[in-house]
Amino acid sequence: MDQFLQALINGVMLGGFYAVMVLGFSVIWGVMGVINLAHGELVMLGAYITWVLNKQFGWEPFAALVVVMPVMFVLGYILQRVLINRVVERPHLISLLVTFGLGIMLSNSVKLIYTADPRQTKTALSGFWRVGQITFPVTKTYILLAALIIMLLLYLFLQYTRTGKSIRAAAQNREAARIVGIEIHQVYAITFAICTALTGAAGMLISPTQAIFPFMGPPLTLKAFAITAMSGLGSIPGALMGGIVLGLVEVFIATYIPGIGTNLGIVSSFVLLVVVLVTRPQGLFGGLQPATEVR
């Protein structure tokens, strides 16, 4: 029973990270119909920025968010303006190729600068809290907390601000967004910037618990893809639920199937995806709708 509860807690904590990790991917897909294959590399960049601040300047990793998010925001804005705006609204294959190439460039650039050695950040928020037989890892608890706060802020932003509304409008009906006077490429740039900032934040969140290396990106992109396909495009509750489902499945497999460890993560996410798509083709929460096509 304790082992079960422990796995439950660990799964939810992992799920919180996945939820933040997937949001940027899923909102970009929902708003502009671009499947960003460089997503994992953006997580990696966020993690490396955190590591540099932690290692060279002694920053607390969580405090690094105040640098990571603005830097990634600007990077996202520039990427969108010079690169993605040229391929958005073109056939999917083109944006897939462009973002795939971008991912390769990013990971190899980081490798040239920092080598391929695995890194990790050190946080003061470590250790364990014990409640009965259950332990709460402190770092992961803060990660979950930070994830929930980030998601809440994103929700409030999308729901109540003018820019947030224009992003939702563009996701729901691109042509209608244009006719009410929304400057669609500006919305795309802001969306990409915000999503890149979120994704960078996910990189910070992963940095104290997992090895950071230049080629950590692709498995994360795959998981983001699986969660998005399960939970719907641009849906925050969907991302949270999908993230937690995947976190739970991974942790339970690692806990109850001996000798496998966590290496089945990717496999389990895709088995889960196949099961969901076979049983509920509209996605777990019915949110799977492509962005509207417009000439």
Please identify, using beta-carbon distances, which residue of 16 and 232 lies nearer to other proteins.
232
Please identify, using beta-carbon distances, which residue of 81 and 185 lies nearer to other proteins.
185
- Give min distance, CB of 31 to other proteins, in A: 13
- Give min distance, CB of 72 to other proteins, in A: 27
The DSSP line for the chain is: -HHHHHHHHHHHHHHHHHHHHHHHHHHHHHHH----TTHHHHHHHHHHHHHHHHHHH---GGGGHHHHHHHHHHHHHHHIIIIIHHHTTS-HHHHHHHHHHHHHHHHHHHHHHH-S--B----SS-SEEEETTEEEEHHHHHHHHHHHHHHHHHHHHHHHSHHHHHHHHHHH-HHHHHHTT--HHHHHHHHHHHHHHHHHHHHHHHTTTS-B-TT-HHHHHHHHHHHHHHH-TT-HHHHHHHHHHHHHHHHHHHHHSTTTTTTTHHHHHHHHHHHHHHH-TT-TTS---PPPP--
Q: Of 221, 223, 236, which Cα lies nearest the Cα of 171?
A: 236
- Give min distance, CB of 94 to other proteins, in A: 18
Please identify, using beta-carbon distances, which residue of 131 and 180 lies nearer to other proteins.
180
- Give min distance, CB of 239 to other proteins, in A: 16
- Give min distance, CB of 289 to other proteins, in A: 9
Residues 6+ apart with CB under 8 A from 69: 197, 198, 200, 201
- Give min distance, CB of 103 to other proteins, in A: 31
Please identify, using beta-carbon distances, which residue of 93 and 180 lies nearer to other proteins.
180
What residue ranges bind other proteins (CB under 8 A)?
162, 165-166, 168-169, 172-173, 175-183, 295
Please identify, using beta-carbon distances, which residue of 111 and 178 lies nearer to other proteins.
178
Please identify, using beta-carbon distances, which residue of 111 and 165 lies nearer to other proteins.
165
- Give min distance, CB of 55 to other proteins, in A: 44
- Give min distance, CB of 88 to other proteins, in A: 16
Please identify, using beta-carbon distances, which residue of 76 and 234 lies nearer to other proteins.
234
Q: Of 36, 20, 26, 51, which Cα lies nearest the Cα of 210?
A: 51
Please identify, using beta-carbon distances, which residue of 19 and 170 lies nearer to other proteins.
170
Q: Of 48, 169, 66, which Cα lies nearest the Cα of 113?
A: 48
